[in-house]
């Protein structure tokens, strides 16, 4: 049984390995090339600074997945909206661990005053679409041919969940 906890810098190498596996073999990430140690250090810092959260799932001492959120956009007006990421090691998918990670991430976001979470998911990633929809996200839009990887165009779904019922931002 996996334990979900906050990520530490000691988890970075295992997280990078999980992420780079997806970079090389799937469209879960639209990166074309695996991230270097320095690239990942910057990514890790961006997802653990300010009000951001980065969680890992650990099974028998091994990091087997992670979820986090970072800035949605850099403009000041987007400060209460974040974009999430969820990645699992092969062999740990389809058993509810992604749902546990995402639910914990949403709970952390609520406690930190995040208003909305956006997920940007390639249309062919049915598992991620189902995960997000199952956790309360709604489809907010489709961007046809928004990018490309592996020699083909990729469509991008934007999904969103509103975490509070505030009538105004103040």
CATH number at residue 124: 3.40.630.30
Per-residue pLDDT at 75 exceeds 90: yes
Q: Which two tokens stand for residue 169?
A: 């931002």
Mean pLDDT taken over the chain: 94
Q: Per the structure, how many domains does the chain have? A: 1
Model confidence at 170, pLDDT cuts 50, 70, 90, reads confident
d(Cα 56, Cα 26) in Å, to the nearest integer? 21
Q: Cβ neighbours of residue 130 under 8 Å, at least 6 residues apart? A: none
Give the Cβ contact number of residue 134 at 10 Å.
12
What is the greatest pairwise CA distance in the chain?
A: 46
The domain containing residue 78 runs over which residues?
Answer: 3-162
Name which of 36-45, 53-62, 105-114 the model is least confident about: 36-45
State percent of the chain over pLDDT 70: 100
Strands (DSSP E) contained in 32-137 are 53-59, 62-71, 81-88, 116-122
pTM of the full structure: 0.93
Residue 119 domain flag: yes
């Amino acid at each position: 049984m996996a334990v979900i906890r906050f990520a530490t810098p000691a988890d970075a190498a295992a997280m990078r390995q999980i992420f780079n596996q997806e970079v090389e073999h799937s469209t879960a990430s639209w990166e074309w090339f695996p991230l270097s140690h320095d690239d990942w250090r910057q990514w890790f810092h961006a997802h653990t600074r300010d009000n951001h959260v980065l969680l890992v799932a650990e099974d028998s001492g091994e990091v087997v997945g992670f979820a986090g959120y970072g800035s949605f956009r850099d403009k000041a007006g987007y400060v209460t909206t974040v974009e999430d990421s969820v990645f699992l090691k092969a062999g740990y998918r389809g058993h509810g661990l992604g749902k546990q990670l995402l639910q914990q991430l949403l709970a952390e976001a609520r406690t930190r005053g995040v208003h909305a979470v956006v997920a940007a998911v390639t249309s062919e990633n049915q598992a991620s679409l189902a995960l997000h929809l199952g956790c309360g996200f709604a489809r907010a839009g489709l961007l046809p041919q928004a990018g490309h990887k592996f020699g083909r165009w990729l469509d991008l779904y934007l999904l969103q969940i509103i975490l509070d019922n505030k009538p105004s931002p103040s």
